[in-house]
Chain A
Amino acid sequence: MALGRIGQQGIVFAIFAALFAVFAITLHGFATPENMLTLLQNVAVLGILGLAMAIVVIGRGIDISLIAALAVPPGLVLQMVQDGYSFGVSLLAALALTLVFGLVNGWLIAYAEVPSLFATLATGLFMAGLGQSVLFKLDVVQWSPALGGFERLGQGVILGVPMPIVVFAIACGCVAFLLRRTRVGAYIYAIGDNPYGARVTGIPTRPIIVLQYVLAALIGCLAGLVLAASVNSMPTRIFNSTLIYDVILVVVLGGIGLSGGRGGVLNVVIGTLLIGTMLNGMTIMDVSYSGQNLVKGMVLLVAVIADSFLNPRNEETAQQGDI
């Protein structure tokens, strides 16, 4: 393979491997099985969100409202249980809310033809506002004793593997199957590659786009449930954090181009592993918060610069909608 053919995925994997090797040699206690599990567990929620974002980005969209889907429906579960509803009813209500949310996103983008960036920016704000002003009493929705057992989703262990990692692995399997083995998956790639061409060939583009956003919202809600179970509360203020940038970072760093039609689950996994390795190594070294940001920014820059050197853009490869 010529040097010029190494894609972003390869570059990021190389950076990940190099970083991992350096940490394993220099940091005592990094390359232990226990620490590997901690590393994965700490980025599992981010990885699950990355999968949701990947489905949308491959179809040449973007979902900025993902953190609202992560925060509000799971927060609703905790709030309703606190108010005396049964866990089952609360979960159903949350799923219904997520479904409606995904449908509205999809309808706005596929049928009303609002650009996905603006549509999801608005719906995300609306959803977060709805949660803050109507559904929740406080920003942090606290755990109730009636939720006993549910915390295993975030804190349990199966065969020595923490539950968040198991959920991430299952989600990876499902999304990979959807994208690679089903007709819907093929359609998503086709729409991402060339939406107008896809429509001309008879692919039902609009319903497929709606489906993408519904799936993204549902996966986002799943990530939120894992998060809530993991920290015994739902800090809904997470919507105001920079988490959405981290999610986009995972997806783009992993090599899923924002222009759509490329990449897959493996890219998300690689992006997640790189972020996880950096965070874990720097925590062990007790690097200060600003120092961590500096290193994160530098690694991202190296990846982007290397990509633009090895895969220079020209009129042929640049697509409309490329950011």
Chain B
Amino acid sequence: MKRAFWSLLKSAACALGLIAVASVPALAQKGLEEPFQAPFKAALEGKTVAFVPVAMNFDLTEGWFAELKKDLEPYGVKVVVRDPNWSTDAGAQAVTTLISEKPAVMVIHNPDVQTYAKLLQRAENDGIYVIQINMGSNYRSSGFVGANWIEIGERDTEAVVKSCEGKSNKIAIVQGALSAAASAYTLKGVENVLAKHPEIKVVSSQAADWDAAKAKAVTQTVLKQNPDLCGIVGFWDGMDIGTAAAVKEAGLTGKVFVATSGGGERKGACDLVKSGGFDLDLSYDVPTQGEQMAGMIKWLISSGVKPGSVKGSDYTTLIPITAANASNDTTCWNLGDLKK
């Protein structure tokens, strides 16, 4: 504040001097100095934001990275990425190295709730803001941005239960990987809704490891056993492309309600809803999440608060993609456009 005051005073003095020296015809219209933008710019200039995803090369992480760059680079912030390529060890090592490199902010995409927790606490003690994206850890850091997995499980299941009204009431669940917190949280959401609907019978609840081929194999077998299935709750659209293919092959598109969730990339989400593969795809719109993170980063750095002294969450508002809005240009996003 003190520095801001001085710079304000200095610029005021400067302006006065200018007026005095130059023989300006009259005190015509004069701009007004906004006192907070200069310190804001000074605070951001030259800072580094380090991004540690579980891996690059897929729509979510590429989208977040592109959006962070787009939002922060114009302010002179350097955005760097450390790609552990699905290796938890490499990720932990990247975080450890970053702590000694002291970036201003670390954006962390946790592979599970445990591995990075201690490291993230250490980072904040060392004066680095930590923002966790979509998959949080046990340690609550300065900021969390992400989908509410419980809500996703609940809303997907509610939609499936509704579509089952007057039908067989048989549903199937295609989970992600057992070790992933996102999958376990989503399952909790599913259970919450099923507890209220005892009439619904879960004929299959299998983990397909985020793998489209496995999801297809499981769904095919389940559909052969239960051709009267009325709905499927899937845990990720990138995997449920296999679920949808199995439903289509069985000739049951439109009869079996497929609900899933994902990052809302056009080819992976909107196109598949349009083609009838998915009936509902809850999108945690990736560019929005990128903006949420960028907003948090700007706020944290410019506020100057001590890392770890404030803790807050910004859950992403979900966009339900259905046949009604899948054709809109703004419902989904596209990585090529985002990178431009």
State yes or no: do A and B come from one complex: yes
Q: Can you report 18 residue pairs joining A to B where beta carbons are below 8 Å apart? A: A41-B220, A42-B220, A139-B55, A140-B58, A140-B212, A142-B267, A142-B268, A155-B249, A227-B213, A230-B213, A230-B245, A231-B212, A231-B242, A235-B212, A284-B221, A284-B225, A288-B206, A290-B178
Q: A138-B59, A230-B213, A231-B245 are in contact. Are A289 and B220 (CB under 8 A)?
A: no
Cα A21 to Cα B23 in complex, Å, equals 104
Cα A38 to Cα B250 in complex, Å, equals 11
Contact between chains at B221 and A280 (CB < 8 Å) = yes
Question: What distance in Å separates the Cβ of B242 from its nearest Cβ neighbour in chain A?
Answer: 5
Q: Does A238 contact B (CB under 8 A)?
A: yes
Residue in contact with B224 in the complex, picked from A38, A45, A142, A286, CB distance below 8 Å: A38
Q: Does A118 contact B (CB under 8 A)?
A: no
Query: Chain A's interface: helix, strand, loop or mixed, by majority?
Result: helix
Q: Does A150 contact B (CB under 8 A)?
A: no
Cα A25 to Cα B194 in complex, Å, equals 32
Cα A38 to Cα B218 in complex, Å, equals 10
Residues of B within 8 A of A32 (CB): 224
Contact between chains at B213 and A45 (CB < 8 Å) = yes
Q: A231-B212, A233-B212 are in contact. Are A279 and B207 (CB under 8 A)?
A: no
Question: What distance in Å separates the Cβ of A131 from its nearest Cβ neighbour in chain B?
Answer: 10
In the complex, residue of chain B having the shortest beta-carbon distance to the beta carbon of A279? B217
Contact between chains at B206 and A286 (CB < 8 Å) = yes
Residues of B within 8 A of A232 (CB): 241, 244-245
Between A41, A45, A283, the greatest number of chain B beta carbons within 10 A of the residue's beta carbon is seen for A283
Cα A292 to Cα B302 in complex, Å, equals 52
Binary interface profile of B, 198-219, with partner A (CB < 8 Å = 1, else 0)?
A: 0000011111010111001110
Residues of A within 8 A of B224 (CB): 29, 32, 34-35, 38
Cα A45 to Cα B218 in complex, Å, equals 15
Within 8 A of A (CB), among B288-338: 335
Contact between chains at A240 and B245 (CB < 8 Å) = no
Q: A142-B268, A231-B212, A283-B218 are in contact. Are A155 and B245 (CB under 8 A)?
A: yes
Q: Does A136 contact B (CB under 8 A)?
A: yes
In the complex, residue of chain A having the shortest beta-carbon distance to the beta carbon of B205? A286
Residue in contact with B57 in the complex, picked from A139, A143, A283, CB distance below 8 Å: A139
Q: A232-B241, A290-B178 are in contact. Are A283 and B216 (CB under 8 A)?
A: no
Residues of A within 8 A of B59 (CB): 138, 140
Cα A35 to Cα B221 in complex, Å, equals 7
Closest 6 CB pairs of A and B: A42-B217, A142-B267, A289-B207, A231-B212, A283-B221, A231-B242
How many residues of A are counted as interface, with CB atoms below 8 angstroms from the partner's CB atoms? 37
Contact between chains at B216 and A231 (CB < 8 Å) = yes
Cα A138 to Cα B61 in complex, Å, equals 10
Contact between chains at A283 and B213 (CB < 8 Å) = no
A residues whose Cβ falls under 8 Å from a Cβ of B: 29, 32, 34-35, 38-39, 41-42, 45, 132, 136-140, 142-143, 155, 162, 227, 230-233, 235, 237-238, 240-241, 279-280, 283-284, 286, 288-290
Contact between chains at B335 and A289 (CB < 8 Å) = no
Between A35, A138, A240, the greatest number of chain B beta carbons within 10 A of the residue's beta carbon is seen for A138
Between B178, B220, B244, B335, the greatest number of chain A beta carbons within 10 A of the residue's beta carbon is seen for B220
Residues of B within 8 A of A289 (CB): 178, 206-207, 209
Contact between chains at A235 and B217 (CB < 8 Å) = no
Residue in contact with B221 in the complex, picked from A42, A136, A241, CB distance below 8 Å: A42
Residues of B within 8 A of A241 (CB): 209, 211
In the complex, residue of chain B having the shortest beta-carbon distance to the beta carbon of A34? B224
Cα A88 to Cα B209 in complex, Å, equals 33
Contact between chains at B203 and A286 (CB < 8 Å) = yes
Q: Does B159 contact A (CB under 8 A)?
A: no
Cα A288 to Cα B213 in complex, Å, equals 18
Residues of B within 8 A of A240 (CB): 86
Residues of B within 8 A of A34 (CB): 224
Q: A140-B238, A231-B213, A231-B216 are in contact. Are A283 and B267 (CB under 8 A)?
A: no
Question: What distance in Å separates the Cβ of A214 from its nearest Cβ neighbour in chain B?
Answer: 25
Residues of A within 8 A of B218 (CB): 283
Contact between chains at A139 and B241 (CB < 8 Å) = no
Contact between chains at B207 and A286 (CB < 8 Å) = no
Contact between chains at B216 and A132 (CB < 8 Å) = no
Cα A280 to Cα B218 in complex, Å, equals 8
In the complex, residue of chain A having the shortest beta-carbon distance to the beta carbon of B226? A29
Between B178, B217, B218, the greatest number of chain A beta carbons within 10 A of the residue's beta carbon is seen for B217
Residues of B within 8 A of A230 (CB): 213, 216, 245
